[in-house]
Structure 1
Amino acid sequence: MSRKLKRSNLFSKDLNSLLYSYGDSAQPNQQTTHCLDELVSAYLVDICTTALKTAQNSQRNKVKLDDFKFALKNDPIKLARAEELISTNKLITEAKKQFSETDNQSLKRFRTNNDNEEEVDEENENESDDDKTTTTLKPTKQSNKNKKQKS
């Protein structure tokens, strides 16, 4: 099978939950959990080793997702599940990217609007009192119509 792992009980919490969901007690026997933990760890090491060998046969130092697919080619159920997880992961990352891009754009718009308002406020503070009194507002057409209707 595979070589011994230095760490043990890597998946004990997950395995306890899994055993409970399949009808075991809330606190399963530690020997059962330890045995399943060793089996799961050995299986994962074997799959990773097979994927590494596939990558090395292709004269690559890095393992790609296709190498894991190739390692799972003899088990169609696991291969289908792996492909489903990969496609779901791609959808999630694309959605996160779009969400962050729209957030950045809205933040930029918000920041520029606030900057413009601050600049206008600063300009108004810099104007002298004489300038404020000399400016007059021209009546608009709507205000003239309102005056005619009231009289």
Structure 2
Amino acid sequence: MSEPRARAGKNRGQQNFSDGEMRQFLFAHGDVFDSLDTTIKTLDVITTDFIVELCFEAARAAHAAGRQKVKLDDVKFACRKNPAYLGKIEEIFAKKNEIDEAKKTFDATDDKIAKTSGKVNVETLGAEDDVLDAVKGGK
């Protein structure tokens, strides 16, 4: 394996992210709506270098563990010295797991809650629930 900067050198001058993506990213983080072209190109170079170096470090960790494929744990290991990066990675994957669990609760064929999680929160209704005057705080 070569150094990440040497490997990224072959793509110098070539933009890896679209102008639209970079403009939206810059605008979302406080830049003006119409960013300068030099700003977009600079952010593209910085972002690409960061991703390449992170992947290189993760690949190095995987290689040290005797694997060819990079796993999430390798990326976490590469970010171990920066708690902000590590925290963001864990936050994103926790949110992904939460979304995946929420998707599992719904059956796509009939729009009903799945049998496993739907019966947990079943509430039996009585006759007092049918009385319209019993509603409090409504309009």
TM-score, normalised with respect to structure 1: 0.61
Corresponding residue for residue 28 of structure 1 = 35
- Look up the equivalent residue of 1:94 and give its one-letter code: E
Q: Render the CA deviation track for 1:49-97: whole Å, top value 9, x for unaligned.
A: 1101100100011111000001111110111011010111111112212
CA contact (8 A) 2:16 2:48 kept: no
Question: Corresponding residue for 1:12?
Answer: 19
Q: Show CA shifts across 1:3-22 (max 9, x none).
A: 23375141532321232244
1:16-55 per-position Cα deviation (integer Å, ceiling 9, x unaligned): 1232244432111101100110110110010011101100
In structure 2, distance between residues paired with 1:48 and 1:37: 16
What is the letter of the counterpart of residue 69 of structure 2?
Answer: K
Partner of 1:78: 85
Distance 1:67 1:12 in 2: 30
CA RMSD of aligned residues (A): 2.3
The gaps in structure 1 that reach 5 residues or longer are 107-151
Within a 5 Å distance, the mapping from 1:2-151 to structure 2 comes to 2=5, 3-4=8-9, 5=11, 7-100=14-107, 103=109
Given that 1:9 and 1:34 are in contact with CA atoms closer than 8 Å, whether structure 2 keeps it comes out as no
Q: Where does the alignment leave 5 or more consecutive residues of structure 2 unmatched?
A: 113-139
CA distance in 1, matches of 2:47, 2:70: 21
Q: SS of 1:62's equivalent?
A: coil
Q: Which has the larger radius of gyration?
A: 1
Q: Which has the higher helix share?
A: 1
